[in-house]
Amino acid sequence: MPFPIKEVRAAYPALSDGHAYLDGAAGTQVPQPVIDAIATAYRTGIGNVGGTFPASHRSDAIVAACRAAVADLVGGRPDGVILGPNMTTLTYRLSRAIAGPGDEVVVSRLDHDANVRPWTQTGATVRWAEVDPVTGELPVEQYAGLINERTRVVAVSAASNILGTRPDVAAIAELAHRAGALMYVDGVHATPHGPVDMGGDGRRLLRDERVQVGRAAHRRGRRRSRAAGDTAS
């Protein structure tokens, strides 16, 4: 089935100017349903979560629906979804909570700095996975010599933001889990382009950023609706 490029572009008001927005990291344009949802929330009235008044209840419902939608997108559980200001900030917060002096962390030269710097600043010993300069791939075999019983976290990208390289995350995760380490996957540049399945492994952590996933989430949502017999446009 050919990709419905005209249909997808029509869902994004910002694309009506005829330009192609290539810098996804600077902020992805959003489809009309997202614009409508944000506008509706502000028209209805929202407040701090966890309160006893109607505006707070509406905010609670929005957050719960968001967690459910993200869990559906990545194959996770709603109670495992953490919402925050951005991917980098969340990585900093998590890195400080789970790694420190006496631990070891494994990072890669392939990754965006946001999945490297937070881990290198924890005080843990840092081990580096290198990129093959000829192929641009991240060889899995090297991880066997990088991961050991002191490894606390293995951080790796599911897709390079520069080369587009897609490492064998499953194989790396198997090595990490065998050593009892946590697997922290940067899905920012992978999630918009294909299905993601977190599986049932509680030791795998996936991070995403909403500015990167709008296009894919809208496209997959329409496919799911059609499969269920929903013909709404």
Over residues 150-171, the mean pLDDT reads: 92
pLDDT digits (tens, 9 = 90+) for 74-117: 888 898 888 888 888 999 999 999 999 999 999 999 999 999 99
Over residues 138-142, the mean pLDDT reads: 97
Whole-angstrom Cα distance, residue 96 to residue 122? 6
What does the H/E/C string look like for 106-144? EEECCCCHHHCHHHHCCCCEEEEECCCCCCCCCCCHHHH
Burial class from Cβ neighbours inside 10 Å (0-12, 13-18, 19+) for residue 162 reads exposed
2 vs 35 pLDDT, higher one: 35
Output DSSP code: residue 183. E
pTM of the predicted model as reported, rounded to 2 decimal places = 0.78
What local confidence, expressed as pLDDT, does residue 213 receive?
A: 44
pLDDT digits (tens, 9 = 90+) for 174-207: 999 999 999 999 988 887 777 777 764 444 666 6
Share of the chain above pLDDT 70, in %: 83
Q: What is the mean pLDDT of the chain?
A: 84
What local confidence, expressed as pLDDT, does residue 113 receive?
A: 92
Whole-angstrom Cα distance, residue 69 to residue 78? 8
Judge whether 140 and 171 are in contact, CB under 8 Å. yes
Q: Which residue from 121, 115, 188, 181 is spatially nearest to 149, judged by alpha carbons?
A: 181
What local confidence, expressed as pLDDT, does residue 23 receive?
A: 66
Q: Residue 73 pLDDT more than 60?
A: yes
